[in-house]
Structure 1
Amino acid sequence: MPTDLRPVMFMLISTFSLSFNGLMGKLLTESFSTEVLGFLRFFLPASIMLLMLKSSGWVIPNKHNSRPIIIRALCVVGSQLCFLVALNELTLVESVVLFSTGPLFIPVLEILMYRTPIQGLTLACLAMTFCGVLLQAGNPAGIEIRPELLIGLAAGGFNALSQVTLFKGAKSDLPPAALNGWCFMLAAIIIFPVATVRVFTTDSLLIASNPFDTNMLLVLLITLAISIVSTQMFRAKAYKLVSTGSQLAPLIFTNLLFALIWQVSFFNETLETNKVIGISLIVLATIINTFGPKWIHQQRAAAH
């Protein structure tokens, strides 16, 4: 982590937006099927980002830039579909916990794909955060392995690969709106046939148990699209300012802290002791990973 705190601020804005995205997604699972909601989660923010791109002049990916966009599009499709399935079966916090395991895979993927070295402090912070995640996933009866938990974990794995390809793409000459806009539009095209079949099969865009009226649905969808755009744009800005994606990986776990706030506020869930301890570990790891390098740098400068 560099001493420049701009990437930290950009990443925190991104994770806050991501947690809000999860809240909107949880609410909208009561109105749309997984396939239809997955399509909307890609198409709506892609349209916004490409309109932003249009206002500043179209940027078409070249052969060099298109590869990470295509790979990331496939990853985000897998990640979002698994995440939405988990949201249907688990609580918001449980789903976000499993989705948030993605950063734990990022350093491993960077080693395998790009031979990127990992700083010792980053590894220590990731280990602390992993312990926090385990405490979050647990309960007084222990951890029960269920299919939906494995699906949620798969969302974290796809998310990790998506973040690694995003970091690589952020280092290109493509602006964030182009990098994410084309990626999400491609993802929407990939999932469109499945969503279409689902609509024709059920003969309805909405599921029968939809609790919201048209106006409320529009508000939720617009909020969802804006939060996704904010997540992607600020994350790309953060990655552009660091040398490796794993340097910012522990900060992605702050998404869990924000999600817990939404869970308590909107779903009346009380926090158990293990969850409080898990939150504390994640916060401590984030603080150390954010300010530790700056303190070490100052100490070394003072010694010289």
Structure 2
Amino acid sequence: MPSDLRAVIFMLISTFSLSLNGLMGKVLSQSFSTDVLGFLRFFLPALIMLGILAYQGWAFPTRDTARPIIIRALCVVGSQMCFLYALTTLTLVESVVLFSTGPLFIPVLEKLLYRTPLKGITLFCLGMTFCGVILQAGGTGDIAMRPELLTGLAAGLFNALSQVTLFKGAKSGLPPAAVNGWCFLLAALIIAPFASLTVSQQGDLMLPDAPLTTAAIITGVTVLALSIASTQMFRVMAYKLAHSGSQLSPLIFTNLVFAFIWQISFFNDTLSQTKILGIGLIVLATLINTFVPRWQAKQTQRMA
């Protein structure tokens, strides 16, 4: 694990912002089509992060740093579009649970792509978080492989690929605003033709039966853009202090805890015993993966 708690704190801020991202995405999915909302989720945060970059001093990708940014942009588009589709067909909690399976793929992807060794405690914590995900989803017997569920799992896989490339981009020397700003701008350009086609067919930016007022939509879009920018900026800051992406991956599951809070607060959902047990397993895995390696390192130093 990181040598200090800053990486953990930055990651928790990132997951809290990610939960706001999911909440706003669920609310706004009733007012925008999937591709239009996807474009807004990329373009507006890109403006915020590139504005920060302009204040700090422009930093452009080089030949070596451009490759992970391009790959991540493609992964981000795939992940967000699958996630938005899941939000329109599943509940907020179901969508977030499936999206949050991404960390389960990260250690395997790092092993396959970068030959990063797998640590036993990481696999143990990921196993605990997997059990927590299954319990929160209602148990294996309640999950049928419907298309929307498979799409949600695809969002988790794309999210894992995005996180692996983000970790490499964070180590490139580019500031966080550059790593994410250029990536999200490229992602917005990728999805722009599809969003433009939808707007031309609808004759309006919003869906004709949008239930929210203009003020509510503006507020929601603003919170969405700020939460996405915050998620990406703090995640890069966390990865800069980590030794590998899989070391922080269990912390991504804390997004589920925040998502349940939003679900209860805004959608009148109640927690069953199995869901409470699932949250408990995820929190326990997070604590073990965060503090046990630090305790072991201190014990090793004392014995040396």
Residue of structure 1 in register with 2:246 after alignment: 246
- The code of the aligned residue for 1:199 comes to V
Q: CA deviation at 1:298?
A: 2.2
Following superposition of structure 1 onto structure 2, how do residues 181-200 of structure 1 map, counting pairs within 5 Å? Answer: 181-200=181-200
Q: Which residue of 2 aligns with 1:229?
A: 229
Q: 5+ unaligned residues in a row in structure 1: which ranges?
A: none
Partners of 2:141 and 2:208 in 1: how far apart? 34
What is aligned with 1:147?
A: 147
Which range moves more in the overlay, 213-222 or 101-110? 213-222
Name the counterpart of 1:214.
214
75-84 or 54-63, which deviates more? 54-63
Runs of 4+ in 1 over 3 A off after TM superposition: none
Q: Report sequence identity in percent.
A: 67
> Residue type matched to 2:160 in 1?
A
Aligned to 2:58: 58
Matches within 5 A, 1:52-201: 52-138=52-138, 142-201=142-201
Cα deviation, 1:71-102, whole Å, max 9, x if unaligned, reads 00000000000000000000000000000000
Deviations 1:145-195 (A, max 9, x none): 211000000000000000000000000111000010000000000000000
* Other-structure match for 2:267: 267
Q: 1:277 to 1:183 in 2, by over 3 A?
A: same
TM-score (norm 2): 0.98
In the TM superposition, what are the counterparts of 1:3-42 in structure 2 within 5 Å? 3-42=3-42
Question: Once the 2 structures are TM-superposed, how far is the Cα of residue 139 of structure 1 from its aligned partner?
Answer: 5.3
On the 8 A contact 1:29/1:37 being kept in 2, the answer is: yes
- Secondary structure at 1:270's aligned position in 2? coil
Contact 1:3 1:293 in 2 (8 A): no
2:162 is matched by which residue type in structure 1?
S
Asked whether the equivalents of residues 2 and 293 of structure 1 are also in contact (C-alpha less than 8 Å), the reply is: no
Of the structure 1 ranges 204-213 and 156-165, higher mean CA displacement relative to structure 2 is found in 204-213
SS in 2 for 1:113: helix
Following the alignment from structure 1 to structure 2, what is the Cα–Cα distance between the partners of residues 296 and 57?
41
Cα distance in 1 for partners of 2:242, 2:145 equals: 37
Kindly indicate whether the alpha-carbon contact (under 8 Å) linking 2:89 and 2:148 is maintained by their aligned counterparts in 1: yes
Distance 2:298 2:260 in 1: 34
Q: CA deviation at 1:140?
A: 9.5
CA contact (8 A) 2:134 2:140 kept: no
Cα RMSD for the two superposed structures: 1.1
- SS of residue matched to 1:248: helix
Aligned residues: 304
Distance 1:115 1:302 in 2: 31
